[in-house]
Structure 1
């Protein structure tokens, strides 16, 4: 067992939303890794986040977990895939949190919001990380926090021998975003949990 595997095991908690998790696994719906999820929820709890904006709802898995941290939390979440959006609505309703969710069906590149938030969670198309960051971070409060998932691309971020042009293009875009954050936000943390978690204070 490697150190990484040992820590991942310790950071993996009992699944609170087993039905949603199993659906994701059985239908190959990408969801946040369990150890990264633990870090995200701990961050929300420690910093007492109350108004969360999520880019990329999928089937509502991460949204359910973020809402479970505290009953005072509200979630605005954007999803462009209608089928996923419908499933997320069902899951939020089934687990009794729909009244705390503002689900938006639309392309996050085009959606316009006027509300303010204290946490921005970016977990959508990875090649658009910088676009989403620049578009939505101005909506954060002065003590706002941005969290970005999948900054390691399952190891492809350091792979120099990719053969697919699409994978090379995606890798380069995520690299550019990571480097942009590194150069402009000295307090940002790049964490080797899950598929890589990036935490930025505004």
Structure 2
């Protein structure tokens, strides 16, 4: 066992939404890695954040876990895919958190924020990776100063450092994600890059 596998095993907790997790696995729906999820929830606990905005609902798996940290937390989440949106609504209903969720069916790239986005203290970006910069620029302004922002999949399953990628599209994606990572590292925000799951970028809004 290498050192990263050792750490991953320690960070991985028992699954509390096994039905949603299993559905994701069986239907090839990308979901956040268990060890990264543990870190995200720990950071929420430390920060005390209770008002969340999530870009990329998918089937509601990460949203359910976010809401499990504090019983009085609330989630606004945006998903472009109709089928995933409907599945997420069912999962929120089945796990009795619907009253704490505002689930929006729409394209986060063009969606126009409104009064929903007030006093938010956590932004979770987990949608199309090539749009990380767009999502950060568009939605980070709704997070209060000192609030928490986390971006998932910043390592692209290791492709972020691969010198040779046969696919032109993958090379373009790598370039976009790397440019975003570098830009945030050079910004005035406090940032940490964590090699858990597929990589987390943790930002404290300045």
**TM interval, short-chain normalised:** over 0.9
Distance 2:148 2:10 in 1: 25
Instruction: Check the 8 A contact 2:47/2:148 in 1, yes or no.
Output: no
Give the CA deviation at 1:113: 1.7
Number of residue-to-residue matches in the alignment: 202
Could you tell me how far apart the structure 1 residues matched to 2:203 and 2:51 are? Answer: 16
Structure 1: how far apart are the matches of 2:35 and 2:132? 21
Contact 2:55–2:126 (Cα < 8 Å) also in 1 = yes
Q: Is 1:18 matched with 2:21?
A: no
Which residue of 195, 198, 203 corresponds with 1:195?
198
Provide the C-alpha distance between the structure 2 equivalents of 1:61 and 1:93, rounded to a whole number of angstroms. 13
2:182 corresponds to 1:160? no
- Alignment match, 1:150: 153
Q: Deviations for 1:19-47, whole angstroms, at most 9, x for unmatched residues?
A: 00000011110000000000000011111
Hey, what does 2:50 align to over in structure 1? 50
Structure 2: distance between partners of 1:186 and 1:21: 33
- Taking structure 2 as the reference length, the TM-score comes to 0.97
Q: Distance in 1 between matches of 2:175 and 2:163?
A: 10
Q: Deviations over 1:70-121 (max 9, x none)?
A: 1110000000000000000000000000000000000001112232210000
Alignment of 1:27-176 (within 5 A): 27-114=27-114, 115-116=117-118, 117-176=120-179
1:5 aligns with 2:5: yes
Shift of 1:185: 3.7
What secondary structure, in the 3-state scheme, does the structure 2 residue paired with 1:188 have?
strand
1:51 is displaced (CA, Å) by 0.4
Given that 1:24 and 1:30 are in contact with CA atoms closer than 8 Å, whether structure 2 keeps it comes out as yes
The whole-number CA distance in structure 2 between the counterparts of 1:112 and 1:140 is 16
Distance 1:185 1:196, change over 3 A: farther
Cα distance in 2, alignment partners of residues 159 and 41 from structure 1 = 30
Give the TM-score normalised by structure 1: 0.98
Deviation at 1:187, TM superposition (A): 2.1
Distance 1:185 1:149 in 2: 20
Instruction: Please list every run of 5 or more consecutive structure 1 residues that lacks an aligned counterpart in the other structure.
Output: none
The two structures, once aligned, show a CA RMSD in angstroms of: 0.7
- Which sections of structure 2, spanning at least 5 residues, go unmatched? none
CA distance in 1, matches of 2:149, 2:61: 19
Structure 1 residue ranges (4+ consecutive) displaced by more than 6 angstroms after TM superposition: none
